[in-house]
Amino acid sequence: MINKYLPYVYFEGKIVPLGKAKVSVTNKTLQYGSGVFSGLRGYYNKEEKTVNVFRIEDHYKRMLDSLKILNARLKLSSKQLADLTIELVKKNKPAANFYIRPFAYCPSEVIAPTLIGNEVFDVAIYMMTMDDYLPVDKGLSVCVSSWNRISDNALPPRGKFSGAYVNSMLARDDAIRAGFNEAVFLSADGHVVEGSAENIFIVRDNVLITPPATADILEGITRKSIIELAGENDIKVEERLIDRTELYIADEIFLTGTAVQVAWVAEVDKRKIGSGKIGPITKKLQKMFFDTVYGKTEKNKNWLTEVVFK
């Protein structure tokens, strides 16, 4: 994955060149990991020369919800954030697939782990080109992490807090150093939660199973989309706790997320999943997902915001 930052950034209320978007080393969010962020994808359709951003309002709604957990807020609504994002995309004129990173932070420089008196956050939005984050055509080799997932009553995974990604880094880095593509977290009580930055689905006996929203997951927007696409195909979906050993005996496993999109898993802890090839349910949902995001199907067109620029 090669990221190339696009030249313009929304910062302190204006669109400015990337090099001008800087905060101080004394910034409270930098010191205490209290950033709230989002990650959206934009898809470039080469044939049609169209650019579509995926589920923009859902991403901003989740970001504002994360702020609410902190008892913090922005001066902007999700609609205003979406409009600003479209303006920024027009300014950057991407001609390849891209990723948008809105990042809300506390502008205070007072040292103390509290947001009291500094509840109004600033937001910056920047963009980069992004192709596949992990391969979507070759099966992934993943491991169950020895690190447990953080929990709702400690550092809530439902919120997309920058500091929470230390948990992800510990798991992902150990997995990569051990030769795997990605790590899968268990909760402290031993249930499968999610990947370092992806939700997880397994298929057993033609039933699509994913941990529920109350299982210390980030409530993924790709996850929600896959559940909706499965419903359109009469694929039975169960949101329930998953045991570690169910991973080993699943017929199919795939990971979902804005960056990863829909990527299938070929092995977990060196145990081959199903036939070791992409399974039929994964294949079908992956195709539907890509057809949707590239605007190749009329269905679910409302998930896309087309950005037109000359």
Catalytic residues, which ones? Answer: 160
Should residue 39 be labelled a site residue for ligand PMP when binding is judged by CB under 6 A?
yes
In angstroms, give the least distance from the CB of 270 to ligand PMP. 24
Binding pattern for the stretch 165-204 against ligand PMP, x by CB under 6 A and - elsewhere: -----------------------------x--xxx-----
Contacts of ligand PMP in 233-262 (CB under 6 A): 256-258
In angstroms, give the least distance from the CB of 164 to ligand PMP. 8
Structure tokens at 294: 């590239």
- How far apart (Å, rounded) are the C-alpha atoms in residues 205 and 90? 46
User: Max CA-CA distance within the chain?
Assistant: 57
**Count of residues interacting with ligand PMP (CB under 6 A):** 13
> Which residues pair with residue 100 across a beta bridge?
40, 127
Helical pair 56-69 and 78-92, crossing angle rounded to 10 deg: 130
Instruction: Tell me whether residue 8 or residue 133 sits nearer to ligand PMP (CB atom).
Output: 133
Nearest position to ligand PMP, beta carbon: 220
Indicate which single residue of 100, 218, 227, 307 sits in contact with ligand PMP (rule: CB under 6 A).
218
Stretch that binds ligand PMP, among 43-51, 103-111, 220-228, 283-291 (CB under 6 A): 220-228
In angstroms, give the least distance from the CB of 276 to ligand PMP. 25
Instruction: Tell me whether residue 60 or residue 294 sits nearer to ligand PMP (CB atom).
Output: 60
In angstroms, give the least distance from the CB of 218 to ligand PMP. 4
Indicate which single residue of 99, 223, 253, 268 sits in contact with ligand PMP (rule: CB under 6 A).
223
Instruction: Tell me whether residue 183 or residue 197 sits nearer to ligand PMP (CB atom).
Output: 197
Instruction: Tell me whether residue 35 or residue 39 sits nearer to ligand PMP (CB atom).
Output: 39
In angstroms, give the least distance from the CB of 151 to ligand PMP. 13
Write out the residues near ligand PMP by the rule CB under 6 A.
Answer: 39, 194, 197-199, 218, 220-223, 256-258
